[in-house]
Every structure is written in C-alpha cells, then in structure tokens.
Amino acid sequence: MSKYGLDTDDGQVNYGKARFIVFGVGGGGGNAVEHMVQEGLNGVTFVAANTDRTALDNLTVPHKIQLGSEGLGAGGNPEEGRRYAEEDEDEIRSMLDGYNMVFITAGMGGGTGTGAAPVVARVAKEMGILTVAVVTTPFDFEGKKRMKSAKDGVSQLTELVDAIITIPNQKLLKIYKQISFTDALKKADDVLLHAVSGLVQIVDTADNVVINTDFRDVRTAMTAKGYAMMGIGRASGDDRARQAAEKAIRSPLLDDIRLENAKGLLVNITAAELMMSEPEEIAEALSSIADLEEGNIFYGYVQDESMGDEIHVTVIATGLTLDDRPKVAVQQAPIQNLQTAPAGHVSALESRQQAQQAQPQAQSVQAQAQPQTAPQVKTRIDVNSYLKSQQHNK
C-alpha cells in the first residue's frame, strides 16, 4: 500500500518570525488537529501522523505521515507504535525542520499515540525545537490496563518535552453530563485549540501591525521543566481585570495541577484601553501562582480598539507539579461563558486560600515586562511602564 508523500512547502517563509507546528499523533491526536483545522486557526502548520491509513484518509489535515508501511494500526500496542514511528523518523525530522515550536497532541493509552508521541518529542528536542505536549488520558471504563499504559506514556513524554498539559477524559463525565459524548470530546480538543492560539497570539503578529516580537522570552518561560497550564480569561465592566485574570487560571478540565511556584509565567493583556490600576490588579490576582523570587515572568499589553469594554488576559504558567494534596471540598461556581485554555483544577480564590495557609501573602508582581503580540491589533504599549508607575506611586 502506498504511503503519503511528504509535502513541507506551506508557502511560509520565516521573515524573523517564530514558526509553529502542531503534530497530532494517533487517532486522538489526529482528531484534535482536525478540530483545529475546522476552526480555521491561522499561522500554524498542521500534521497528522498515524499507523492507521484509513484514519488518515478521513482527515482534511494538510500534512499526513503514515507511520510504518502497513497502514493497519498498532493494535493497541505502544511498542508497535514506537517501532513504526522510528521507521519513519527521517520523515518526522523533515516535517519538523525549520520550526521554532511544536505542540505534540495525542491520546495516551492506545498504541500509536502512546508509543509514537515520545519518538516525535525526542526528535524535536534533538533538533532544538521548543516542545510542548498536550495529551488526554482514558476514561475509567476503558480499563486499568489502558490507564496504566497512559500513565507510562505521560511519564515518558514528561522526560522529553519542555512542558506537558494533561487532560483526563474522565473529567468530561463529571463536568459535561448534559451534552453528547461527541461534543464532550470536543471540549478536550478545545484545550489544545486555545493553548496553541494563545501562544500564537502572544508571539506572532498580524501582517498590518508593527510588532517587536521576542520569541526568546517565550522559550525562557516555557523551558521550565514540568507541567504547564494555559488559560484565557475574558471579562468586562467593573473589576474586569481581576475577574479576567482569575478566569485565566481556572479550568475544570485539566489534570490536578498545583497552581503555585510557577517557574515561568507569560501574561498578555489585550484591551481597547487599559486603566492605570489594572495591570497591578492582574498581577495581584496571579501572584499566588508565581515564583516571585526565581521565576521568569514576562508581561505584555496589546491595544485593540475593537475590544470595546472587554479585556482579555492570556496566561501561560510552566514548571508546575501535580497536586497530591488531599482535596478540600469547595463548591465550584457555575462556569458561564468561560473559555479557557489549560489552567488549574482549583479556582484562583481557593488557590489563594491554600497559599495563605502555607506562607504569608505574596506581594504583587514586580517583574521586568516584555511586550507580547496578538493577531489583528492596532497599537502596542509596554505594560512595564504601568507597573513601574504604580510602584513609584506607592
């Protein structure tokens, strides 16, 4: 059976801009990438890699790699998935060539995703590419064997990537009981969508905007080994800055992440107009999750006059650990019109309460700010001037 030809010509030329690629591995990874393609996300290259030829044929993803020569799947065996990926390692390497950052997405527990995703991660790291994994773990009803395989796969990936975001499918059953199974799975795919679009918003630029892009700041923040969260909070009206920041660090879908002592923090604020007090309000809301002494913290502000009264706060926190503390019964507020990318499983209020029990309240963030970027914006202003002016006025 013939394999897919490798086509790496996207018509993209790197004119001093960072280039992003999303690599969907296995059935779950392919579906996640297909979801992003259907949503029309721009500025990113999409690739699906699978041992199952039929599954690849059903996707509209522009770039496809059949792993192994048979095209019949891996039979749920991660070792087979790994072996097939290693057979096509040169093709994987060719596809990754020229990119600055790769998102690897896969469903953990099966054969191809679990076995082949670590191969893609290893190749990417050997090429010096900033590597982030966004993966799902199985439902409980899929059995203990599949869950153990998933945990082993996550463990392998964690050692290979710069940051990893884990989404337990089991949480879909608890959170989205009243929607269809297919729509619930798309909620997990949305985490990847928001993670990638958020990063592109921070780093990439619209063609009609003059931007001072600094991908090295992103690399510095993202290379703190460990788990990561990515969130986008939106709010308007009174107290909008604090509300948006707290929404950005709250997501019910993510694995149990301990939201404190983040070693890397990227914050991008987008608004038509930013009030003088709002950057400090955002910093105050985020102070409970950051390592203020040793963490690499970068702030940016993008002015977009089309935003009206709304403010967007995008947060990327890295260098986090799993939360193995006993869970405190806290009633969760209803989630309404909240669109987040990866964030912690607890609210910002709960996180702050836990932090207060462990140590004195952290002071507001005093960080060297670096302006970041977003698509379709008008004017860029350095938020550091806001933060410094607030400190001088104290």
CATH number, position 140: 3.40.50.1440
In a domain, 172, yes or no: yes
Same domain, 66 and 187: yes
Residue 168's identity, in one-letter code, is P
Q: Any bridge partners for residue 320, and if so which?
A: 227
Same domain, 151 and 232: no
Same domain, 189 and 67: yes
Same domain, 168 and 280: no
369 vs 206 pLDDT, higher one: 206
pLDDT at 305: 86
CATH number at residue 368: 3.30.1330.20
DSSP, residue by residue, 220-246:
HHHTS-SEEEEEEEEE-STTHHHHHHH
Total number of domains in the chain: 2
| DSSP 8-state code for residue 141 | G
Domain of residue 343: give its range.
Answer: 224-393
Mean pLDDT across 266-271: 86
Last residue of a domain, one of 199, 232, 255: 199
Residue 189 known to bind ligand: yes
In a domain, 335, yes or no: yes
Torsion angle in degrees (nearest 10) through CA of 161, 351, 331, 337: -60
Task: List pLDDT tens digits, range 88-133.
Answer: 999 999 999 999 999 999 999 999 999 999 999 999 999 999 999 9
Using alpha carbons, select from 163, 135, 134, 130 the residue that is nearest to residue 149. Answer: 135
Supply the mean pLDDT for the chain.
79
Mean pLDDT across 189-216: 65
Residue 27 known to bind ligand: yes
Please tell me the total number of residues recorded for the chain in this structure: 394
The answer on pLDDT for 156 being more than 70 is yes
- How deeply is 89 buried, as exposed, middle or buried, from its count of CB atoms within 10 A (0-12, 13-18, 19+)? middle
Share of the chain above pLDDT 70, in %: 74
Same domain, 185 and 312: no
Same domain, 172 and 252: no
In a domain, 4, yes or no: no
The answer on pLDDT for 14 being more than 80 is no
Residue 30 known to bind ligand: yes
Residue 142 known to bind ligand: yes
The answer on pLDDT for 314 being more than 50 is yes
Task: List pLDDT tens digits, range 220-255.
Answer: 888 888 888 888 899 999 999 999 999 988 876 766
The answer on pLDDT for 345 being more than 70 is no
In a domain, 204, yes or no: no
Whether 340 and 235 have beta carbons less than 8 Å apart is answered as: no
| DSSP 8-state code for residue 94 | H
Taking each helix axis as running N to C, give the angle between helix 112-126 and helix 144-160, from 0 to 180 degrees, rounded to the nearest 10.
0
Residue 73 known to bind ligand: no
Share of the chain above pLDDT 90, in %: 44
Residue 24 known to bind ligand: no
Token pair 């599954």: residue: 55
Same domain, 48 and 155: yes
Neighbours of 239 (CB within 10 A): 11
pLDDT at 231: 81
